[in-house]
């Protein structure tokens, strides 16, 4: 899937449906996550990718650019955290996202999100059906100060 194709999705969706800004935020997240998957597949196995367990540094270096609008992601993350207060601690959240899985962050995320779907481990955030890991990535962006809560 071509990430550039996704980049135009929010605008098209608004044109067609009159979607609100928060929908754009979610679509950017989806664009970003699918972009991550695409990049992960494209570069899978490269040694310079940050290893799992270093989610925050990965998000700081790569996240905002790849995942889209940090403000929108943060907003979804804040909504998610409001109903999951037990996941507010960054290190704990990072462990929940990556578990103890070894390997580059992108590849771990790909596998974890795929596993979420197969187990129907989903979260509804502001109405959007996200995989649990997608929702937690939003929460991590929020905890990193990606936007107002």
Partner 1 sequence: MIEDLRKLPPGTTITADICLIGAGAAGITIARELAGSALRVCMVEGGGAQYEYQESQQLYAGDSVGMPVALEAGRLRFLGGTTNHWGGRCAPLDELDFRRRDWVPHSGWPIDRAELDPYYMRACQVAGFSTPWLSDPETLSYLNVSLPALNEQWLKPFLWHFTPAMKAAPAWHWATAYGPLLQESSNIRTLLHANFAAFATSEDRTRIRSLTVRTLSGVSARINAAKFVVCCGGIENARLLLLAAEANSGGFGNNNDLVGRFFMQHPRGPAGLIVSSGLMSRTQEQFNILLGRDGLVVEVGLTLTPQLQEQERLLNCSAVLRYQGDPDSGLAVAQDIWRSLQSGKWPPDVGEKVGRVAGDFGDVVRGLKHRLAAGHPMDLEGSQGIPSRSAILLLDLEQAPNPDSRITLAAERDALGLRRVQANWQLGELERRTAARFAGFVGAEFARLGIGRCRIEPWLLDDHVPMASALEETYHYIGTTRMADDPSAGVTDRNCAVHGMQNLFVAGSSVFPTAGQANPTLTIVALALRLADHLKN
Can you give the binding site for partner 1, defined by CB under 8 A?
1, 5-6, 9, 12-13, 15-17, 19, 23, 26-27, 30-31, 34, 114, 117-118, 120, 122, 124, 126-131
Backbone angles phi, psi at 19, to 5 degrees: -65, 150
- How long is the chain? 149
- In the complex with partner 1, the residue whose CB is nearer, 86 or 120, is 120
Contact yes or no for 31/68 (Cβ under 8 A): yes
Tokens 């481990």 — which residue? 121
Contact yes or no for 126/135 (Cβ under 8 A): no
Of the candidates 124, 128, 122, 145, the one whose C-alpha atom is nearest the C-alpha of residue 10 is 128
Helix (H, G, I), strand (E, B) or coil at 4: helix
- In the complex with partner 1, the residue whose CB is nearer, 3 or 103, is 3
Q: How far is the CB of 6 from partner 1 (least distance, A)?
A: 5
Helix (H) or strand (E) holding 25: helix 21-43
Q: How far is the CB of 21 from partner 1 (least distance, A)?
A: 13
Q: How far is the CB of 75 from partner 1 (least distance, A)?
A: 14
DSSP 88: -
Q: How far is the CB of 10 from partner 1 (least distance, A)?
A: 9
- In the complex with partner 1, the residue whose CB is nearer, 4 or 100, is 4
Q: How far is the CB of 93 from partner 1 (least distance, A)?
A: 22
- In the complex with partner 1, the residue whose CB is nearer, 8 or 57, is 8
- In the complex with partner 1, the residue whose CB is nearer, 49 or 135, is 135
């Amino acid at each position: 899937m071509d990430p550039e194709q996704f980049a135009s999705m929010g605008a098209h969706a608004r044109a067609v449906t009159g979607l609100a800004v928060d929908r754009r935020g979610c679509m950017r997240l989806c664009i970003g996550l699918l972009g991550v998957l695409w990049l992960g597949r494209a570069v899978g196995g490269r040694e310079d990718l940050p290893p799992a367990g270093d989610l925050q540094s990965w998000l700081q270096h790569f996240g905002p650019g790849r995942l889209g609008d940090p403000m929108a992601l943060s907003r979804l993350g804040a909504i998610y955290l409001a109903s999951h207060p037990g996941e507010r601690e960054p290190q704990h959240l990072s462990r929940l996202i990556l578990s103890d899985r070894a390997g580059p962050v992108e590849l771990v995320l790909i596998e974890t999100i795929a596993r979420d779907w197969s187990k129907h481990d989903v979260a509804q955030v502001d109405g959007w059906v996200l995989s649990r890991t997608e929702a937690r990535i939003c929460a991590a962006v929020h905890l990193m100060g990606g936007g107002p809560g």
